[in-house]
Amino acid sequence: MAHPLIEQAKRIAVLSGAGISAESGIATFRGKDGLWKNYRPEELATPQAFDRNPELVWEWYAMRLNIVLSAKPNQAHYLLANLEKEKDLTLVTQNVDRLHHRAGSANVLELHGNISHSRCLQCGHLSLLEKDFSYPPLCKVCGGRTRPNVVWFGETLPISVFQKSIQAFESCDLALIIGTSAVVEPAASLARLAKNKGAKVIEINPQTTSLSHLSDLSIRAGAAKGLQELLNN
Ligand code: NAD
Ligand code: ZN
């Protein structure tokens, strides 16, 4: 038997953050492995950094893509993919690593885009990036300059993805917040939106976050163990 809050839920909205992929060996930004060549992610994941030094930013993304392609989804990703088969579930993720897709989740909204593709600055075409791609990659359609297909600090979220995420959290009766510090918006607002509409909120995070006080249940554990506990698998 799963936890009663899961059993009773008719519509679940999940928000996942970097913490759910930590057990796949992918560092969170704010964890101890967040630094690269002494740069903080906030110094690399911005439009200004890309304007200043596109080579450097591409080098960082090439390194991160290689890590992601060598990594595998963990049990937390698989448990959510299975839960989607049993429940009406929308999975909103801040992650750019595609591990939810690789675990089999279908109903995924990527709030921050993904690092698996480059986006053409001229024609908008998305080109799939391969392991060890040479950077800067050019558009496969028009040969134009490209950028990583992610949302950088200071940029607006893709509007339709954001609207669908709001809809999912407004209409759910259970919000499940996993592995996000909820420092980067709209994580905190989505959870609040659900709470204000009367939904139950469950958080899985080894640490206290700004959402802990509004959660009906806080599971202080890693994502895989926490989800296992919740779903009693
Ligand atoms: P964050 O780095 O701010 O926070 C990570 C959270 O995960 C923390 O609250 C931490 O306590 C928790 N955590 C650590 N280990 C965990 C575990 N095993 N199980 C569950 N939780 C665990 O990450 P964020 O809030 O997602 O925001 C950073 C932004 O950086 C994201 O928006 C994302 O776009 C990007 N990012 C993505 C990836 C990825 O795709 N895997 C990795 C790093 C950063
Ligand atoms: Zn192009």
Q: What is the pLDDT of residues 15-49, one digit of tens each?
A: 999 999 999 999 998 888 888 888 999 999 999 99
DSSP-assigned letters across all residues of 56-68? HHHHHHHHHHHHH
Q: Which atom of ligand 1 is nearest to the CA of 224?
A: 19
Nearest ligand to the CA of 140 is 2
Over range 215-220, report the average pLDDT.
97
112 is an active site residue: yes
Beta bridge partners of 150: 113
* Pairing, β 113-120 against β 126-128: antiparallel
What is the separation, in whole angstroms, between the first and last Cα of the chain?
8
Q: Which of 77, 100, 101, 112 is catalytic?
A: 112
Can you count the helices (H) and strands (E) in the chain?
A: 8, 9
Task: Dig out the tokens for 170 from the structure.
Answer: 């407004």
Q: What is the DSSP letter of 24?
A: G
Reported as a pLDDT band with limits 50, 70 and 90, residue 80 is very high
Q: What angle do CA 80, 117, 155 make, to 5 degrees?
A: 85
Q: Three-state DSSP class for 196?
A: helix
Nearest ligand to the CA of 218 is 1
Place of tokens 């510090």: 181
Asked whether 103 and 73 are in contact (CB, 8 A), the reply is yes
pTM of the model: 0.96
Tell me: the pLDDT tens digits for 132-152?
A: 999 999 999 999 999 999 999
Residue having the nearest C-alpha atom to atom 8 of ligand 1: 181
Residue having the nearest C-alpha atom to atom 35 of ligand 1: 95
